[in-house]
């Protein structure tokens, strides 16, 4: 069996792993995830690269969850000739129906905006390329097949798949894939996808896996520890209270799926506990609005604390002034609010969507606060803000950064180093091979060394992108 790492190797985004196995005297190839690269011009180039094999060679795709860095190039893959099934959980499929059309829409809007500015002589550089259309999204969605959690399903002769809950976002899964090649014993391959934190908001703890021959594990935060939820709450309370007292706005860039819902539940719970006063919250992201309603629909998959918070809000609807923005004109009207607002908007890395407009209007005012709650990839606008840029270019104009920038890491949907090591300890014996992916070089290197030293596992590999490894 061979695994080729086509993305998320030496970086966080672009998860896509090709697996080859000899079954029935022929080579069978499938993918685990097929995500989009994010952050800067280099990502755009990688998204347009051709695969080292023909898409029609793929038997199927196993999708761990709906985040765009894991699912975002599926429509392009299907448009280029892949016609097989895409296996995912029910909640992941429902999220894909929200996220992939939104991705196509944003790409089309970026191209149209660039062409308008180019015509007006205001565009620098190359015009972006739309990776796929809405019609191609519909084709990809038509190829999805929903599988339940915790049930082994035979995908084809010699390959069985079990999805276990990863505790990352709604529908997220650890892919446990049993492969029996010709004249060989069964090998169990465990792809972590993105592993959630124990005791985090909304999601249950990640499932424990007892045995594996090969493990592919994420390392987004493999070199650090998150703040505790208690410390995170205290920091958020301080930022919100100080900013509202100064009559400023709080702008929160947040991934529309997962992070937005976590922030909402946390803010509502802080009001419930009288740690914050009555709040006026605007969620300005059509996708986040849809994802929040979907979260309510999958109520039974939430952790018990979040179920309790949601039930309290339903009984006390006036406790928080929560509004979901529907159209563009309503979104623009938010720019007239000079103080007292909490605006949660996508994208989480600040590179696209309505958040860019809110940053353009709120960054120049010192009484405002920008609260960064998620990972910011190299090259992204969010990363430049975190790295203390004094000005940023938005819509072709220099915008001064006078608002305070706050990074609150304890809300991460990813396990930290301790969480990842704790999850790996659940294996009753060391896997034959462990591949450390989905992390920037330092994070992956630190986690790999920690696995060698603390778990005493030997064959720990940080794969290189496009390289193939025999297992």
| Model pLDDT for residues 220-243, shown as the tens digit of each residue | 999 999 988 899 999 999 999 999
Average pLDDT, the chain: 94
Tell me: the pLDDT tens digits for 359-384? 999 999 999 999 998 888 788 899 99
Looking at per-residue confidence, does 282 or 126 come out higher? 282
For residues 107 and 209, membership in a common domain is answered with yes
Residue 77: which pLDDT band, with cuts at 50, 70 and 90?
very high
Q: 143: closest CA among 85, 100, 99, 95?
A: 85
When divided into structural domains, the chain yields a total of 2
CATH code for the domain in which residue 440 is found:
3.60.15.10
Terminus-to-terminus CA distance in the chain, angstroms?
5
Q: Which residues contact 462 (CB under 8 A, 6 or more apart)?
A: 9, 10, 435, 436, 437, 441, 444, 445, 448
Residue 50 structure tokens: 């051709």
For residues 161 and 255, membership in a common domain is answered with no
- Give me the domain span that covers residue 71: 2-224+414-470
For residues 314 and 429, membership in a common domain is answered with no
The pLDDT value recorded for residue 469 is: 98
For residues 139 and 55, membership in a common domain is answered with yes
User: Are 191 and 112 in contact, with CB atoms under 8 Å apart?
Assistant: no
For residues 157 and 81, membership in a common domain is answered with yes
Evaluate if residue 409 carries a pLDDT over 80.
no
The pLDDT value recorded for residue 303 is: 86
The pLDDT value recorded for residue 327 is: 87
Average pLDDT over residues 286-301: 88
Give the whole-angstrom CA distance, residue 78 versus residue 143: 9
Average pLDDT over residues 87-109: 94
The pLDDT value recorded for residue 346 is: 87
Evaluate if residue 458 carries a pLDDT over 80.
yes
For residues 253 and 142, membership in a common domain is answered with no
For residues 202 and 326, membership in a common domain is answered with no
Evaluate if residue 329 carries a pLDDT over 80.
yes
Q: To which H or E segment does residue 93 belong?
A: helix 90-119
The pLDDT value recorded for residue 415 is: 94
User: Are 431 and 216 in contact, with CB atoms under 8 Å apart?
Assistant: no
The pLDDT value recorded for residue 387 is: 94
The pLDDT value recorded for residue 376 is: 85
The pLDDT value recorded for residue 301 is: 86
For residues 196 and 268, membership in a common domain is answered with no
Q: Which of 411, 431, 452 is the last residue of a domain?
A: 411
Give the whole-angstrom CA distance, residue 202 versus residue 394: 34
Choice among 38-42, 103-107, 281-285, 462-466 with the minimum mean pLDDT = 38-42
For residues 52 and 197, membership in a common domain is answered with yes
Q: Which of 395, 411, 427 is the last residue of a domain?
A: 411
For residues 12 and 36, membership in a common domain is answered with yes
Query: Exposed, middle or buried, 186 (CB in 10 Å: 0-12/13-18/19+)?
Result: exposed
Tell me: the pLDDT tens digits for 20-40? 999 988 999 999 999 999 877
Q: Which of 365, 384, 411 is the last residue of a domain?
A: 411
CATH code for the domain in which residue 364 is found:
3.40.50.10890
Residue 443: which pLDDT band, with cuts at 50, 70 and 90?
very high
The pLDDT value recorded for residue 33 is: 98
For residues 207 and 120, membership in a common domain is answered with yes
The tally of CA atoms less than 13 A away on the side-chain side of residue 252 is 30
Looking at per-residue confidence, does 315 or 409 come out higher? 315
Q: 189: closest CA among 29, 415, 32?
A: 32
The pLDDT value recorded for residue 125 is: 82
For residues 132 and 153, membership in a common domain is answered with yes
Residue 396 structure tokens: 């072709």
Tell me: the pLDDT tens digits for 63-75? 999 999 999 999 9
């Amino acid at each position: 069996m061979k695994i080729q790492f086509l993305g998320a190797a030496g970086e966080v985004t672009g998860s896509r792993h090709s697996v080859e196995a000899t079954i029935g005297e022929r080579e069978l190839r499938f993918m685990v995830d097929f995500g989009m690269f994010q952050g800067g011009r280099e990502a755009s180039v990688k998204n347009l690269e051709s695969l080292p094999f023909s898409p029609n060679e793929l038997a199927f795709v196993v999708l761990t969850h709906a985040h765009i860095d894991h699912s975002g190039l599926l429509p392009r893959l299907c448009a280029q000739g892949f016609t097989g099934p895409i296996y995912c959980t029910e909640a992941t499929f429902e999220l894909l129906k929200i996220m992939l059309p939104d991705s196509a829409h944003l790409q089309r809007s970026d191209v149209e905006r660039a062409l308008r500015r180019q015509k007006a002589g205001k565009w620098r550089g190359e015009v972006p390329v739309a990776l796929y259309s809405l019609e191609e999204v519909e084709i990809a969605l038509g190829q999805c097949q929903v599988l339940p959690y915790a049930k082994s399903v035979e995908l084809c002769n010699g390959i069985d798949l079990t999805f276990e809950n990863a505790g990352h976002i709604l529908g997220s899964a650890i892919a446990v894939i049993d492969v029996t090649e010709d004249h060989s014993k069964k090998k169990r391959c465990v792809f972590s996808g993105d592993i959630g934190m124990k005791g985090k908001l909304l999601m249950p703890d990640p499932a424990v896996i007892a045995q594996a021959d090969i493990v592919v594990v994420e390392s987004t935060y493999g070199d650090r520890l998150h703040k505790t939820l208690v410390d995170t709450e205290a920091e958020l309370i301080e930022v919100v209270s100080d900013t509202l007292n100064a009559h400023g706005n709080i702008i929160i860039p947040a991934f529309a799926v997962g992070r937005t819902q976590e922030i909402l539940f946390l803010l509502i719970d802080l009001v419930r506990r009288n740690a914050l006063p009555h709040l006026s919250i605007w969620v300005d992201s059509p996708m986040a609005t849809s994802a929040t309603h979907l979260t309510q629909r999958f109520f039974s998959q939430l952790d018990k604390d979040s179920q309790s918070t949601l039930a309290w809000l339903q009984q006390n609807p006036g406790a928080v002034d929560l509004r979901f923005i529907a159209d563009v004109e309503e979104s623009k009207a938010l720019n007239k609010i000079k103080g007292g607002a909490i605006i949660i908007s996508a994208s989480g890395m600040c590179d696209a969507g309505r958040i860019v407009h809110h940053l353009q209007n709120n960054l120049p005012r010192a009484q405002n606060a920008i609260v960064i709650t998620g990972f910011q990839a190299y090259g992204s606008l969010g990363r430049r803000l975190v790295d203390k840029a004094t000005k940023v270019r938005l819509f072709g104009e220099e915008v001064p950064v006078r608002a305070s920038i706050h990074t609150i890491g304890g809300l991460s949907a990813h396990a930290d180093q301790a969480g990842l090591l704790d999850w790996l300890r659940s294996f009753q014996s060391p896997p034959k091979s462990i591949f450390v992916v989905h992390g920037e070089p330092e994070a992956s290197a630190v986690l790999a060394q920690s696995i060698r030293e603390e778990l005493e596992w030997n064959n720990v590999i940080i794969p290189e992108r496009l390289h193939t490894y025999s297992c």
